[in-house]
């Protein structure tokens, strides 16, 4: 009979190995983001021009109504902080496929072989869905800025600190990207046996309410049309994820039924041994 200390060490080894694996993959992910951020630092001027474009479009439209908008830097460190913020955010977005790969490799040991194929497909879909959410936010942001700038009183100019604008823009891009990727994680949780389709569909009221609140926060225009323009696509994507979860559970039940279909009193085939 093994000693208590030996049993304790054996019991802790799987957890320690799991934590070691997590630390190793986090370290590689941080290195990947850092390298991508260094590249983004070099191309900062081009990136800032892309980030400024939605505001330029909104300023052009607002100028037709007599609204003046000026970008400004308020402290000596704003320029450096802004460049660092843009570079790190661009590094996270550029390294997203690599980060998802390590996420996949980390959860692989807990999945069966047939479930791994499903997870590969849906983690592969996470990157284009994230890009779709970012592109959607980038295209709709000028209209939202026009509405927000339209509340400016007469004979008042808007002096917008550049870090404030960039933080607002990056937050919107990441929020929309994450909103479009959320259904992928719903499917992954279902494959891992954490979330069932029944539990997901039973909360449909809260899902619709949450998507509506998300649309209201993500589009601070007070326009129900723009709110629905954000909420409805996410609801449809979540509904599609729920259908995939339902199909996966149905296939899982079918396999379980086939494995248990052999009756207890049914004789099994025996292979004669050579005498």
Write out pLDDT tens, residues 69-118: 777 888 888 889 889 989 998 898 888 778 877 777 776 666 666 666 66
Assigned domain for 9 exists = no
- How many Cβ atoms sit within 10 Å of the Cβ of residue 191? 24
Domain count, the chain: 1
Q: What do you get for the CA distance between the two ends of the chain, in Å?
A: 41
Assigned domain for 265 exists = no
Instruction: Look at the pTM and tell me if it is higher than 0.75.
Output: no
Assigned domain for 11 exists = no
Radius of gyration of the chain (CA): 26
Q: Which residues, including other chains, have CB under 8 Å from residue 208's CB and lie 6 or more apart?
A: 231, 235
Assigned domain for 271 exists = no
Assigned domain for 266 exists = no
pLDDT (tens digit per residue) in 168-197: 888 778 777 877 787 777 877 777 677 787
Per residue in 236-260, is it b (16+ CB within 10 Å) or e — as a string? ebbeebbebbbebbeebeeeeeeee
Assigned domain for 165 exists = yes
Q: Which residues constitute the domain of residue 44?
A: 17-256
């Amino acid at each position: 009979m093994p000693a208590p200390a030996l049993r304790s060490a054996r019991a802790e080894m799987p957890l320690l190995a799991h934590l070691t694996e997590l630390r190793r993959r986090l370290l590689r992910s941080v290195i990947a983001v850092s390298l991508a951020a260094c590249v983004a630092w070099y191309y900062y001027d081009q990136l800032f021009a892309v980030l400024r474009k939605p505001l330029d479009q909104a300023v052009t439209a607002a100028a037709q109504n007599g609204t003046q908008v000026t970008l400004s830097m308020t402290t000596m460190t704003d320029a450096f902080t802004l460049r660092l913020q843009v570079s790190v955010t661009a590094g996270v977005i550029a390294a997203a496929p690599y980060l998802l790969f390590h996420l996949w490799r980390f959860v692989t040991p807990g999945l069966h072989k047939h479930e791994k194929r499903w997870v590969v497909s849906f983690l592969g879909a996470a990157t284009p869905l994230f890009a779709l959410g970012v592109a959607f936010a980038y295209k709709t942001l000028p209209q939202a800025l026009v509405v927000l700038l339209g509340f400016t009183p007469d004979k008042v100019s808007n002096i917008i600190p550049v870090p404030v604008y960039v933080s607002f823009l990056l937050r919107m891009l990441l929020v929309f990207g994450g909103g479009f990727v959320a259904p992928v994680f719903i499917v992954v949780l279902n494959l891992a046996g954490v979330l069932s389709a029944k539990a997901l569909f039973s909360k449909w009221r809260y899902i619709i309410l949450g998507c509506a609140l998300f649309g209201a926060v993500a589009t601070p225009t007070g326009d129900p049309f723009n709110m629905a323009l954000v909420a409805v696509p996410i609801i449809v994507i979540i509904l599609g994820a729920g259908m995939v979860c339902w199909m996966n559970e149905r296939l899982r039940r079918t396999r379980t039924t086939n494995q248990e279909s052999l009756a207890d009193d049914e004789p099994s085939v025996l292979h004669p041994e050579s005498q």
